[in-house]
A and B are shown apart, each in its own frame.
Chain A
Amino acid sequence: MAEMTMIKAITDAMRTELKNNEDVLLFGEDVGYYGGVFRATEGLQKEFGEDRVFDTPLAESGIGGLAIGLGVTGFRPIMEIQFIGFMYEVMDGLAGQMSRMHYRTGGYYSSPITVRAPFGGGVKTPELHPDSLEGLMAQTPGIRVVVPSTPYDAKGLLISSIRSDDPVFYLEHMKLYRSLKGEVPEEAYTIDLDKADIKREGDDITFVAYGAMVHSALKAADQLSEENIEAEVIDLRTVSPVDLDTIVESVKKTNRAVVIQEAQRQAGVAAGISAEISERAILHLEAPVARVTAPDTVYPFASDEDVWLPDHNDIIEKAKATIDF
């Protein structure tokens, strides 16, 4: 085991799979020679050569199309979108093409593609860099959306994504890249893509979160614990499809739920989950399912993101209101 930041764990996962399978290719803007704007691909071109790890011209739609074409010719592409907001440029590639390759060819072709993109607030990036667009992709059947929250999960989930024969949109929260360290095994290991993880056990209320909000939820849970409220914190790990079994089981135990996301309130992942909880466990609920989210505006770029983004205090407030309902 080694202590690693999340970004190192991500690099390590790609290195492992580049080594493990000749068909794995890694490409995108600045990922080759430079090693990525966040250094996520640092050293990989040197180690595996320009045939396997390479820069592309600056065109996301081109990158997506390249991945699809390489996918049907037997490769296993890892493509990077430099920042999540640039996914709009490749929306057809992601939502219109990769996601339905298997379906429309009756299983003859598929898209064994991993799409990596940094996202997430709190690090003062310009507009269209930090947005939480996972809900947009979660609306698209045929593509998994994975969001790790720890270095350990990041490596295991990325290896699983690369090995998956179906396309995976793998989102890396920028704030988590270097802000926390954790034990990460040196060897290859996988984590089930469709399984949520209970990061903290508790009997009084269920927090459902993903990405950086897992850590806010844990912080809120710790503070609530001082008032004898024990929250169970579920880390979704994959936001599409959602592991509803784990959530429903937890809600049946705690009878209360708060669903937490960094994204705006309208539609999105938390909305879907709260509807599912209501449908599947209404008779177990002591209070309505609550949501903690950002407001329904455009992401406010750098200057006020800390006010705009939900935090552990918002979670505590919602949790108390749910308990006092």
Chain B
Amino acid sequence: MFQILDEDGKVVNEDAMPDLSDEQLQEIMYRMVYTRVLDQRAVSLGRQGRLGFYAPVAGQEASMIGSHYAIDKEDWIAPGYRDIPQLLWHGYPLWQSYLFSKGHYKGGQMPEGVNALIPQIIIGAQIVQTAGVALGLKKKGKSQAVITYTGDGGASQGDFYEGLNFAGAFHVPAIFVVQNNQYAISVPADEQTAAETIAQKAVAAGIEGIQVDGMDTLAVYAATQKARQNAVDGNGPTLIETLCYRYGPHSLSGDDPTRYRTSEEDDEWEKRDPLVRFRKYLESKDLWSEEKENEIVDEAKADVKAAMKEVEETPRQKVSELIEIMGNELPNNLQEQLEEYRAKESSE
């Protein structure tokens, strides 16, 4: 397993240390803290019934932020349902992520210039699509890559193997990140596969594969940066397995992790917390302080408030609008139904 910082924030692999300025290191920490606060707020908003579907991310910040920080603004992301933070840091507005959570179509309207697909609910679908995006970028001669995410469970899907194999066969600029957070809802990773690592599945596809400490943001960053370089240099795709943990439930829709996890296991993983580890490292270089951190907490909370306000002011979607967005053209069946529902809505 590839690692740079140990649990105490000490550098254990000096040679692999990425070339990051102090400001960049601080920026990574800033993003991880901000993301942790967003997660805490989302969980609480979800519990109050003010959000729709939400999948908690605490424990996965190093994996998410470290990998995203290594890609370019021009690169593409094909996320799964849990990968909201990477999208946010790629330019997808927070309030829209809340609309997505609530199932409002405006949540899916990516802003101009944000190269991303909307979060995928069907596990594995994004993996095959990634091969397509990557081939598209290659054919257009772009010096861009596409990064996609799934979980340890997702690595069991047929689509996962097809996506990896296609990407290898077409030799395209794709990065596949499997965030192995140990569980697919209740099923532990070692029941998904008899393979020792998920990273080794790259071998069968003829692509690069690496297993990384997913609680170590520098290791994730370095591995992803290398994968990206390979991608844009025309050296083909990479599979990155990040070993991490999700502290919370699978989603806020009724999952109870105490039914399949012990508190000892939770404690064990919390000792490796990515924020604690990186904070220690930054503190050792005099790059971090409590005040700084508190400012970020306040900033994130204020942003959540503002985003929620925007969401609550967004008009409820109408069935007639759903009919209008079915396709570019309105076929005759929908033309008729559009009139029907408009009449209904105006009489309401």
Taking Cβ atoms with an 8 Å cutoff, the residues of A that contact B are: 29-30, 33-34, 37, 55, 57-59, 61-62, 85-86, 88-89, 124-129, 265-266, 295-298, 300-304, 307-308
Given the complex, which residues of B lie within 8 Å of A302, measured CB to CB?
Answer: 52-53, 102-103
| Chain B residues whose C-beta falls within 8 Å of the C-beta of A300 in the assembled complex | 103, 105, 317, 319, 322
* Alpha-carbon gap, A66 to B122, bound state (A): 21
Do the beta carbons of A58 and B53 come within 8 Å of each other?
no
The answer to whether A303 touches B121, judged by C-beta atoms less than 8 angstroms apart, is no
Contact status A37-B53, CB under 8 Å: no
Chain B window 216-257, contacts with chain A (Cβ cutoff 8 Å), 1 for yes, 0 for no: 000000000000000000000000000000000000011100
> Once the chains are docked, how many angstroms separate the CA of A304 from the CA of B52?
12
The reply on B2 being an interface residue by CB < 8 A is: no
Q: What chain B residues lie within 8 Å of A128 (beta carbons)? A: 121-122
Residue of A nearest to B99 (CB): A303
Which residues from A are CB-within-8-Å of B323? 295-297
Nearest chain-B residue to A294 (Cβ)? B319
Could you pull out 25 A-B pairs where Cβ atoms are within 8 angstroms?
A29-B184, A33-B187, A37-B255, A58-B123, A59-B157, A59-B158, A61-B157, A86-B122, A125-B53, A127-B121, A128-B121, A129-B121, A265-B333, A266-B333, A295-B322, A295-B337, A300-B105, A300-B319, A302-B52, A302-B102, A302-B103, A304-B103, A304-B322, A307-B318, A307-B319
Q: Is the CB of A55 within 8 A of B187?
A: yes
Q: Is the CB of A57 within 8 A of B156?
A: yes
**Given A126-B81, A295-B323, A297-B322, A34 and B260 contact (CB-CB distance below 8 Å):** yes
Bound Cα distance from A301 to B52, whole angstroms: 10
CA distance A307 to B105 in the complex (A): 15
Partner of A303, one of B159, B255, B316: B316
Bound: A43/B149 CA distance, A? 34
Asked if B185 and A57 make an inter-chain contact with CB atoms under 8 angstroms apart, the answer reads: no
Number of B interface residues at 8 Å Cβ cutoff, please give it. Answer: 41
0 or 1 for each of B161-199: is its CB under 8 Å from A? (1 = yes): 000000000000000000000001111000111000000
Q: How many A-B residue pairs have CB under 8 A?
A: 115
Known contacts A34-B186, A300-B322, A58 near B156 by CB under 8 Å: yes
Prevailing SS type, chain A contact patch = loop
CA distance A308 to B157 in the complex (A): 32
Residues of A within 8 A of B121 (CB): 85, 126-129
A102 CB, nearest partner CB in chain B, Å:
26
Query: Does residue B104 face the partner (Cβ distance < 8 Å to A)?
Result: yes
- Looking at chain B's contact residues, the main secondary structure is loop
- Residues of the B chain whose Cβ atoms lie less than 8 Å from the Cβ of A30: 184-187
What's the Cα separation between A298 and B103 when bound, in Å? 12
Q: Does B334 contact A (CB under 8 A)?
A: yes
Is residue B154 within 8 Å, beta carbon to beta carbon, of the partner chain?
A: yes
Closest 10 CB pairs of A and B: A301-B103, A34-B186, A302-B103, A57-B156, A58-B153, A303-B103, A126-B53, A58-B156, A302-B52, A297-B322
> B334–A296 contact, CB under 8 A?
yes
Contacts of B159 in A (CB 8 A): 89
- Decide: A85 near B103, CB < 8 A? Known: A62-B156, A296-B334, A303-B316: no
Most chain B CB inside 10 Å of its own CB: which residue of A58, A125, A265, A297: A58
User: Does B326 sit within 8 A of A, measured CB to CB?
Assistant: yes
Nearest Cβ distance between residue B179 and chain A, in whole angstroms? 14
Chain B's nearest CB lies how many Å from the CB of A300? 5
Please tell me if B288 contacts chain A, counting CB pairs below 8 Å.
no
State the CA gap A295–B331 with chains docked (Å).
13
**Nearest CB in chain B to that of A301: its residue:** B103
What is the chain B residue whose CB lies nearest that of A37?
A: B185
A34 proximity list for chain B (CB < 8 A): 185-187, 259-260
- Does B341 reach chain A (CB closer than 8 Å)? yes
Residues 78 to 126 of chain B near chain A (Cβ within 8 Å): 81, 102-105, 121-124
Whether A303 lies near B104 (C-beta < 8 A) is: yes
A300 and chain B: residue at smallest CB distance: B322
In the bound assembly, the distance between CA atoms of A124 and B46 in angstroms comes to 13
Of the residues A55, A129, A297, A307, contact of B191 by C-beta under 8 Å: A55
Q: How far is the CB of A63 from chain B (nearest CB, A)?
A: 10
Q: Provided the pairs A29-B187, A295-B341, A302-B52 are in contact, do residues A85 and B322 lie with their beta carbons within 8 angstroms?
A: no
Cβ contacts under 8 Å, B154 to chain A: 58
B309 → A minimal CB distance (Å): 17
Instruction: Determine how close the nearest CB of chain A comes to the CB of B332; give it in whole angstroms.
Output: 10
Q: A30-B185, A295-B337, A307-B318 are in contact. List 13 more A-B contacts (CB 8 A).
A: A55-B191, A62-B156, A86-B122, A89-B124, A124-B52, A266-B333, A295-B341, A297-B325, A297-B326, A298-B326, A301-B52, A303-B103, A304-B322
How many angstroms between the C-alpha atoms of A265 and B319 in the bound complex?
A: 14
A127 CA to B124 CA in the complex, in Å? 15
Contact status of A125 and B253, CB under 8 A, knowing A58-B154, A61-B158, A304-B103? yes
Residues of chain A within 8 A of B193, CB atoms compared: 57
Give the docked Cα–Cα distance between A88 and B103 (Å).
21
* Contact B317–A37 (Cβ < 8 Å): no
